[in-house]
């Protein structure tokens, strides 16, 4: 169980670092985010929060499994969002009124914390290549990596019963 708690902690930390990297990209390298970018930030931060909630106190095997399952579901949502951004939204002139735009604006997060969730570019303008790969694909890879870690927790939890 200690190993699973450690893996869940690592997922949360890596997810949080992903958001920090996005903020560095935005403020240091002048890469303004689109609606799908900030929506993925929200997913990463939710993953971090779920991981933190899963490891605080004296978590049981079943508790860690439940949080790992929630994290896996969030990662699948993140993969979907990153794929949509890369293959659909990045081809459109505007991502206004898309699902991500509506979630961010209707939740008020873009107005409450514009430094973190502000939408400052269209999806087409936010299409940036880093080390030969679009930024959205880097996010997709990170979601897949985090999801595979959550799967390891789930598989190890079910095999020991």
* Residue-wise pLDDT tens digits, 76-130: 999 999 999 988 877 766 666 789 989 999 999 999 999 999 999 887 777 777 8
For residue 160, the model assigns a pLDDT of: 54
Number of domains in the chain: 1
* Beta-strand pair 129-130/133-134: antiparallel
- Measured between alpha carbons, how far is residue 48 from residues 14, 39, 106, 136 in Å? 8, 14, 22, 19
CB atoms inside a 10 Å sphere around CB 145: 14
From CA 33, how far away is CA 123, in angstroms rounded? 8
pTM value is: 0.93
From CA 119, how far away is CA 132, in angstroms rounded? 24
Cβ-proximal residues to 120 (8 Å cutoff; 6+ apart), any chain: 26, 32, 33, 34
3-state secondary structure 52-72: HHHHCCCCCHHHHHHHHHHHH
Domain harbouring 153, CATH code: 1.20.1550.10
Average pLDDT over residues 61-72: 94
The whole domain housing 59 covers 2-159
């Amino acid at each position: 169980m200690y190993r699973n708690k450690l893996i869940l902690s690592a997922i949360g930390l890596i997810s949080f670092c992903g958001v920090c990297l996005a903020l560095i990209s935005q403020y240091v390298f002048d890469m303004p985010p689109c609606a799908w970018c900030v929506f993925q930030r929200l997913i990463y931060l939710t993953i971090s929060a779920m991981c933190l909630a899963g490891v605080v106190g004296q978590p049981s095997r079943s508790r860690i499994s439940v949080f790992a399952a929630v994290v896996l579901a969030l990662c699948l949502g993140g993969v979907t969002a990153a794929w949509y951004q890369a293959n659909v939204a990045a081809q459109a002139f505007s991502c206004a009124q898309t699902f991500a735009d509506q979630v961010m604006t209707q939740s008020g997060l873009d107005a409450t914390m514009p430094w973190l969730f502000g939408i400052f570019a269209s999806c087409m303008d936010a299409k940036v290549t880093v080390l030969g790969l679009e930024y959205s694909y880097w996010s997709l890879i990170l979601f897949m990596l985090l999801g595979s870690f959550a799967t390891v927790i789930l598989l190890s939890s079910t095999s020991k019963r």
